[in-house]
Structure 1
Amino acid sequence: MRTINSQEAIKAIDELVFAKAGRRLNQDEKLVIEAAWEDKEYKEIAATFAYSIDRLQRDVGRKLWILLTGVLGNGEKVTKKRLRSILERRMATGSLLSSAPSQSNPVNTSAIPIIGGQPPNVQTFFGREVELIGLRDAIANCRCLVIYGAPGFGKSAMSATLIEEISTKRQPEFDCLIWKSVHYGPTLKGLLANLLDDLALPAIPEQQLPQSTQELATLLIKAISMRRCLLVLDSAEAWLRKDRNSSFNSYSEQYSEYGVFFRRIIEAKHSSCIILTSREPFRDLMKLQRSGRAIFSFKLEGLDVKAAGEILQTRGLADEHKWEQLLEPYLGNPAAIELVASRIEKFFSGSVAKFLHYQTELTSEIFRETLAEQYQPERLSVLDRQILSYLAQRADDVNDFVSFLQIIEELPVRLPSSLSISELMRSIENLNDLCLIVKSKNRETKELFLKLPPLLKKHILQEKQV
């Protein structure tokens, strides 16, 4: 096979991205692809083109690999190290543009019939183009998709926008959609009966439903095997265990059957898909993903500065040079940014500068509700709370970041009992999943550093003063 040079690779990828995502690669993305193709380090590109290594690696690179996983990966994760082998393999087999729409095979423009519930009406949706491409690919290749993240990050809006896109533009096509908000925590038996009632397939005779929950589950799996269904269960964190001190089981005792049910859905042979949105990850399902099952867990992060700025622009706010300062404490939380933007528009004539003058007095009131939803001490283990308290008390540090090695050395001194490293790592992973800590790595040493989001830190310190 003829050797492909970096410019030919860039051209092929650019055409693929245009065919599948409707846009062209920008110059930054082309530089990262060239570096990956020629096995260059990010620092080499940064030195040559006067770029920031952090920007290339954490912003441009991170989003590019998500994008290419969606348009090129075909179920395989695309990374800087694996790009060349994946692209060459696809080009050799002639499958590079096989899934792109063509004139002879037009895309379906009819919406998915909704037979139960109703997705939210998303009026505005900023950014997330790269994430949507990755999720479109995921939903085509899995039977369960979990979208989790902090309150206000837009999980429901993301799901609704994803459904709209696959409904009117791209494959896969689903025969029907059921959207259920499950914030009230229905039992598995009740939910199954409700879903079967919505499906009402002629092939399933109208009769008294089975009394056994697992028989109901078998009936549902049979139903979603007969036509391609998309089931969305919104706010599914209601089923998860509230007290992490009592058990490592993901589910609360009254919802323990859900673990078996989701595993059956994932392992059964069908082409339907179930989407779960949650403030917390489903750890049992993440284990199934690591073992190669047809499930994909996706953590929804905050908006980048550009997308967050679009919210402020839509509101017509002034003092654009102050926008980045305004946005920094809120870590890209769309709901929080919408809230503060509406207050600035209403009470400060749209002036960001005037708001920032009074920010200290207003922050606690504006974000009390957001913090209350995200920070729920009763759902954390004792160690989780100890770590948060420890990080909050590092207020005298210039940048608030504390190294993981420093935590290992200092935290056991503050605790009444011995602390294992594995317990500490597990707790930090949990806090990160809940978006209660911010992680960073030193570019040179790769050492891990942690800190609290600014508003949460302030909230915890104020609690301690009461």
Structure 2
Amino acid sequence: MNSEEALSLVCKLFATKYEIPLTPLEQEIIRQSWEGKEYKDMKIAGYSSAYVKTNIAPELWKKISKVLGVTVGKKNLRVVLHNLQREKLSTKLETPREFFHKLEAVNSISAQNWQNMSDLEIFGRGEELAILQKWILQDQCRLVAISGMGGMGKTTLTGNLLKHLVSNQATRFANIIWLSLENAPTLESILREIIDLISSQQHLVPSIENLLDNLRSERYLIIFDALENIFSKDSLAGKYRQGYESYSNLFKQISTSQHQSCLLLTSVEIPREISILVGKNSLVRLLPLQGLAIQPAKQLLRNKGLTEEEDWERLINLYRGNPLALKIVATMILELFNGKVSAFLAENTIFIGQIAEILDKQLVRLSDLEIQLLYCLASIKEPVKFAHLCVYFEQKNISKSQIITVLESLIMRSLIEKNIEHGEFMFTLQPLIQKYVQKYYTK
């Protein structure tokens, strides 16, 4: 299916819900999104890329998502439409409700939005998958969160988890709903979307109470992917954006109220109220996702076609097993060093390149104090004790309690490494973060 065929399909689907056709601007956004262009690269006469990204695209994706009954965005547009084409919806247009009923007749899971993911390739993660399945199926946790820095594979892990759950005959969910929070939807719009999908009552008020009633009546699995988009920038980890504070009540209610369902979250950072509720014997669990172990990471590099396997472990440690960073650097080594890892390592540098885009999204969220502490660690380069950090910041009139708060926030964001030496914690940055901070930040 080319871009014009994709656009034609969307226009037909759009016509089932709205009498007003897609505007030329909306059609062009769809066409160029299908072609894989980022908003900054879109060329649309009369409109800046910033205006398109901020004012037009979010509403367009919401409207299309409403028509299809699944969350659609620029990233998963191609996969969603390919799936629809396979379901032959292009010839027999169905409303979202009819589409879900048809899926329900096929198996017990009536809204498999997880199928819209474009990349489910996974290396290792067997232990993590087993833990998540145990928490959801055996322990019947009410809320499960997966945290980790960008590129660790939180979304990919979740997609593979759902594949395992679906193939497990013991799994009994009335509905699985995958919702991306990439465009920071309001709580009201999220509640409306979920309730419309799972409630037998029409025009039910989108409230937490009505959602909980449904979560009690049937067993549902609901995924909120990329939760970090509802958190504030320029502040400590886990602080909500203005107007999004009501999400806190949703998470508290789901975590503490009696019901038989599960809410699964993926995020770079986790709400503080969830961190407090997490516990081994609690029905709220947190899985901090670390980098790949050596063997799975080697398999990733092997699949990419690198040579000189004896040098791979150094490369893996340099990037702390971050799957996406390893894929990016492996591609660069193939293109510039003919796949020879030793040739790249001989340059004694850390390639940032496209990896910077991953870090940009995460570090742009930091407060001034967090940036100062990162710069301090990047300048020292060696692991340091808390007492040494206090000496460094004493001249800046920053109190010990402030330093503790900032350290905690950076650890929540997976940006600081801590190790124990002689019974005392030592804090440092992984090489990739250190290189990034040294390059893009100044005092």
Helix, strand or coil at the partner of 1:134: helix
- 2:204 pairs with one of 209, 225, 244: 209
User: Which residue is 1:451 aligned to?
Assistant: 428
Instruction: Structure 1: give runs of 5+ residues left out of the alignment.
Output: 1-109
- Seen in structure 2, the aligned counterparts of structure 1 residues 344 and 111 have a Cα distance that, compared at 3 Å, is farther
**Deviation (angstroms), 1:457:** 1.4
User: Which residue is 1:138 aligned to?
Assistant: 135
Map 1:34-113 to 2 at 5 A: 113=109
Helix, strand or coil at the partner of 2:352: helix
User: Which residue is 1:407 aligned to?
Assistant: 389
Deviation string for 1:205-243 (max 9, x for gaps)?
A: x2x333xx5xx2222211222211111111111112223
Instruction: Structure 2: give runs of 5+ residues left out of the alignment.
Output: 1-105
User: Which residue is 2:15 aligned to?
Assistant: none
- Seen in structure 2, the aligned counterparts of structure 1 residues 127 and 116 have a Cα distance that, compared at 3 Å, is closer
Helix, strand or coil at the partner of 1:364: coil
**Deviation (angstroms), 1:388:** 0.9
Which one is further off, 110-119 or 129-138? 110-119
Quick one: distance in 1 between partners of 2:361 and 2:374?
16
User: Which residue is 1:235 aligned to?
Assistant: 226
Quick one: distance in 2 between partners of 1:448 and 1:112?
49
User: Which residue is 1:188 aligned to?
Assistant: 187
1:235–1:279: 8 Å Cα contact kept in structure 2? yes
Amino acid in the other structure paired with 2:185: P
Quick one: distance in 2 between partners of 1:253 and 1:465?
29
- 1:355 pairs with one of 329, 341, 344: 344
- 1:375 pairs with one of 363, 370, 395: 363
TM-score in terms of structure 1 length:
0.67
Deviation string for 1:298-352 (max 9, x for gaps)?
A: 2111111221111011123111111112222211110110111122233433221
RMSD (Å), alpha carbons: 2.4
**Deviation (angstroms), 1:418:** 4.2
Map 1:378-393 to 2 at 5 A: 379-393=365-379
Quick one: distance in 2 between partners of 1:424 and 1:114?
48
2:238–2:269: 8 Å Cα contact kept in structure 1? no
Quick one: distance in 2 between partners of 1:465 and 1:410?
16
- Seen in structure 2, the aligned counterparts of structure 1 residues 200 and 363 have a Cα distance that, compared at 3 Å, is same
Amino acid in the other structure paired with 1:328: N
Deviation string for 1:178-211 (max 9, x for gaps)?
A: 111111111111111111112242xx2x2x333x
Helix, strand or coil at the partner of 1:161: helix
Quick one: distance in 2 between partners of 1:434 and 1:282?
11
- 2:273 pairs with one of 284, 298, 321: 284
1:112–1:177: 8 Å Cα contact kept in structure 2? no
- Seen in structure 2, the aligned counterparts of structure 1 residues 368 and 359 have a Cα distance that, compared at 3 Å, is farther
- Seen in structure 2, the aligned counterparts of structure 1 residues 300 and 430 have a Cα distance that, compared at 3 Å, is same
Quick one: distance in 1 between partners of 2:440 and 2:195?
47
1:154–1:335: 8 Å Cα contact kept in structure 2? yes
**Deviation (angstroms), 1:121:** 4.7
**Deviation (angstroms), 1:170:** 6.6
- Seen in structure 2, the aligned counterparts of structure 1 residues 123 and 156 have a Cα distance that, compared at 3 Å, is closer
User: Which residue is 2:245 aligned to?
Assistant: 256
Quick one: distance in 2 between partners of 1:337 and 1:297?
25
Which one is further off, 170-179 or 256-265? 170-179
**Deviation (angstroms), 1:429:** 1.7
Deviation string for 1:256-297 (max 9, x for gaps)?
A: 111111111222222111111111112111112259652112
Matched, 1:419 2:405: no
Count matched residues.
335
Quick one: distance in 1 between partners of 2:309 and 2:144?
38
Deviation string for 1:353-404 (max 9, x for gaps)?
A: 23334463x713242222212322xx22332222111111114xxxx21122
- Seen in structure 2, the aligned counterparts of structure 1 residues 268 and 388 have a Cα distance that, compared at 3 Å, is same
Amino acid in the other structure paired with 1:367: I
- Seen in structure 2, the aligned counterparts of structure 1 residues 136 and 373 have a Cα distance that, compared at 3 Å, is same
Amino acid in the other structure paired with 1:441: I
**Deviation (angstroms), 1:428:** 1.1
- Seen in structure 2, the aligned counterparts of structure 1 residues 123 and 260 have a Cα distance that, compared at 3 Å, is closer
- Seen in structure 2, the aligned counterparts of structure 1 residues 337 and 418 have a Cα distance that, compared at 3 Å, is closer
Helix, strand or coil at the partner of 1:254: coil
Percent of aligned positions with the same letter in both sequences? Answer: 28
User: Which residue is 2:318 aligned to?
Assistant: 329
- Seen in structure 2, the aligned counterparts of structure 1 residues 111 and 287 have a Cα distance that, compared at 3 Å, is farther
User: Which residue is 1:85 aligned to?
Assistant: none
Which one is further off, 433-442 or 346-355? 346-355
**Deviation (angstroms), 1:153:** 0.4
TM-score in terms of structure 2 length:
0.70
Amino acid in the other structure paired with 2:163: E
1:289–1:295: 8 Å Cα contact kept in structure 2? yes
User: Which residue is 1:431 aligned to?
Assistant: 410
Matched, 1:365 2:353: yes
User: Which residue is 2:149 aligned to?
Assistant: 150
- Seen in structure 2, the aligned counterparts of structure 1 residues 355 and 114 have a Cα distance that, compared at 3 Å, is farther
1:390–1:411: 8 Å Cα contact kept in structure 2? no
1:111–1:164: 8 Å Cα contact kept in structure 2? no
- Seen in structure 2, the aligned counterparts of structure 1 residues 111 and 302 have a Cα distance that, compared at 3 Å, is farther
User: Which residue is 1:124 aligned to?
Assistant: 121
Helix, strand or coil at the partner of 1:389: helix
Quick one: distance in 2 between partners of 1:328 and 1:126?
16
Amino acid in the other structure paired with 1:237: E
- Seen in structure 2, the aligned counterparts of structure 1 residues 242 and 270 have a Cα distance that, compared at 3 Å, is same
